[in-house]
Structure 1
Amino acid sequence: MTTMTTTTATSPVLEASGVTMRFGGLTAVRSVDLTVNSGEIVGLIGPNGAGKTTFFNCLTGLYIPTEGKVSYKGTVLPPKPHLVTNAGIARTFQNIRLFANMTVLENVLVGRHTRTKEGLWSALLRGPGFRKAETASRERAMELLEFIGLSHKADHLARNLPYGEQRKLEIARALASDPGLLLLDEPTAGMNPQETRATEELVFAIRDQGIAVLVIEHDMRFIFNLCDRVACLVQGEKLVEGTSDVVQGDERVIAAYLGTPFEGAPGDEEVAEVEAAESGSGAQSTTSKEGSAQ
């Protein structure tokens, strides 16, 4: 793959403005603004219960924000995950969500479906248009497996891959939708140092392809080495945003991670409530107004 260059390196890809998410009487995310520009890797950190995953879910259409808006390249995103993917945003999840009994190649092909134009009848009749699209999809999927270093395991079942390679495969599947922005939710969770380093190199390579990246991560060394900018959420609010040096040196960030109380800090009960909301317990009533957010 060739590295893409652009003359609009600072143009906004993602703009979240005043995003607020409430679950009943609990405010999990409160008036968060965040911009990700083309060519950037931006990190989102914060202690458990800070609202990071809830914010991610608002960006990807899983949740409909109670207030605020999310725009991709200047267009407000519809609150439906498949439409957000169609627009150009892809994501991975904290818990790996591969199709365990499908092959590595088949998992990536699933990610291609948003970029294929063939309809039901074409698929059923398997006409020339379908066969051409299928061939193109397989070629693109193999390119992505080569890119992440798994082309030699294309025919292996996903469940048989080592943990680190399963994480890579999930990233490849997200890339298969040809996104302009990739959201990574704790991509190094459970990894050893060698796997973490390989993931860091992979994210840099993704950025070099012209894809902006927004990443949630608890590994501070990873996030500060990786990111151009970092934003820290505490109790659903953006506490600070800036370069790695600025954020690392902020006493409020240090206090939040050490569990040291500071003015306005959440109590244990509030943290537990936000963690429960992020796990999905409050999502059903929120998304029911659209029938389903899935």
Structure 2
Amino acid sequence: MTTDTTTKDTAPGPHAPGETVLDARGVTMRFGGLTAVRNVDLTVNSGEIVGLIGPNGAGKTTFFNCLTGLYTPTEGEVRYKGKILPSQSFKVTAAGVARTFQNIRLFANMTVLENVLVGRHTRTKEGLWSALLRGPGFKKAEKASEERAMELLEFIGLAAKRDHLARNLPYGEQRKLEIARALASEPGLLLLDEPTAGMNPQETRATEELVFAIRDMGIAVLVIEHDMRFIFNLCDRVAVLVQGEKLVEGDSATVQGDERVVAAYLGEPYEDAPGQAEVAEVEAAEAQADAAPRKETDR
């Protein structure tokens, strides 16, 4: 994959209607002899919510990791607003792409407000000496960051809990906080990895409304999810991955009516289906792809 290590300190500007925000072409990811993602193309346009679904072991999280710089694809390229994304996750965030994780990765011993402020670091220009000396520039930037963080907490409904430790929040509110932290980086594209996992129907409905509100802010959204009702109610387009390959893509009616999709979810073979022998290996590779960045975060 070709990489570009140039990043900007300023937040990405608003997208023109219909502009291609994400353009992934021929993305392939191999782990040794195992191909976990195979030649996947996917676009996300401004004003869109796009869903990515598939059975366990389909390669969805591995594909997300390729999009966000946690992995460098073996083949293919990922572009954001026409520019090839760098291969390091913090540079991808600075470019304008933010994500949440399947397993919540908040800073448990930090407050709600502090967690959101962490997400602001890619949009602040103050350096080490400014922070040590705490001059007027630093104080101004610090105040602006806190004001923006509070706006986001108001947006997700957690402003009243700004001083609570993240670990003390209910599960559904922790999910919301992780989204607020991602939004703090002022992304043009937000990737959500199973945002409703473990939620009850009421929490799922609230998350659906939140994602619509994020889209209305001008942020394009790409979602991995196993809740089919949620994904088909939410998304303008849905792509289906099966054993690392994109099987079909289209609107909800097109995807739900595709016999190959039904067969894939029932575990039945269909014409030209990939072989079944590597399913367990793909699941293991996805688990490793999800666990590897956690080690880096915890250091």
Query: TM-score normalised by the shorter chain: which range applies?
Result: over 0.9
1:175 aligns with 2:183: yes
1:129 aligns with 2:137: yes
Structure 1 position 8, deviation (Å): 2.8
Structure 1 segment 70-85 matched on structure 2, within 5 A: 70-85=78-93
1:216 aligns with 2:227: no
Deviations 1:108-158 (A, max 9, x none): 000000100000010011111110000000000000000000001001010
TM, length-normalised to structure 1: 0.93
How many residues end up aligned between the 2 structures? 283
The residue number in structure 2 matching 1:146 is: 154
Structure 1 segment 172-251 matched on structure 2, within 5 A: 172-251=180-259
The residue number in structure 2 matching 1:99 is: 107
- Long gaps (5+) in structure 1: 1-5
Structure 1 position 282, deviation (Å): 10
Deviations 1:157-181 (A, max 9, x none): 1001000000000000000000000
Name the CA distance, whole Å, in 2 between partners of 1:8 and 1:147. Answer: 24
Name the CA distance, whole Å, in 2 between partners of 1:200 and 1:279. Answer: 26
Shift of the 281–11 alpha-carbon distance from structure 1 to 2, 3 Å rule, reads: closer
Which of the residues 44, 47, 54 maps onto 2:62?
54
The residue number in structure 2 matching 1:90 is: 98
Name the CA distance, whole Å, in 1 between partners of 2:117 and 2:266. Answer: 43
Name the CA distance, whole Å, in 2 between partners of 1:77 and 1:283. Answer: 22
CA RMSD of aligned residues (A): 1.9
Name the CA distance, whole Å, in 1 between partners of 2:30 and 2:172. Answer: 34
Name the CA distance, whole Å, in 2 between partners of 1:145 and 1:122. Answer: 27
Structure 1 position 265, deviation (Å): 3.6
Identity %: 83
Task: Assess if the C-alpha contact under 8 Å between 2:126 and 2:137 holds in 1.
Answer: yes
Counterpart secondary structure, 2:198:
coil
Task: Assess if the C-alpha contact under 8 Å between 2:249 and 2:255 holds in 1.
Answer: yes
The residue number in structure 2 matching 1:30 is: 38
The residue number in structure 2 matching 1:108 is: 116
Amino acid in structure 2 at the alignment position of 1:27: T
Amino acid in structure 1 at the alignment position of 2:231: I
1:17 aligns with 2:25: yes
Name the CA distance, whole Å, in 2 between partners of 1:233 and 1:193. Answer: 25
Counterpart secondary structure, 1:96:
coil
Counterpart secondary structure, 1:166:
helix
Structure 1 position 283, deviation (Å): 8.9
The residue number in structure 2 matching 1:3 is: none
Structure 1 segment 240-279 matched on structure 2, within 5 A: 240-266=248-274, 269-279=277-287
TM, length-normalised to structure 2: 0.91
Name the CA distance, whole Å, in 1 between partners of 2:290 and 2:91. Answer: 22
Name the CA distance, whole Å, in 2 between partners of 1:47 and 1:57. Answer: 17
Name the CA distance, whole Å, in 2 between partners of 1:7 and 1:157. Answer: 35
Structure 1 position 268, deviation (Å): 5.3
Deviations 1:233-290 (A, max 9, x none): 0010000000000001100000111111223445554111011111116997xx9xxx
Name the CA distance, whole Å, in 1 between partners of 2:109 and 2:290. Answer: 30
- Long gaps (5+) in structure 2: 1-13
Shift of the 7–148 alpha-carbon distance from structure 1 to 2, 3 Å rule, reads: closer
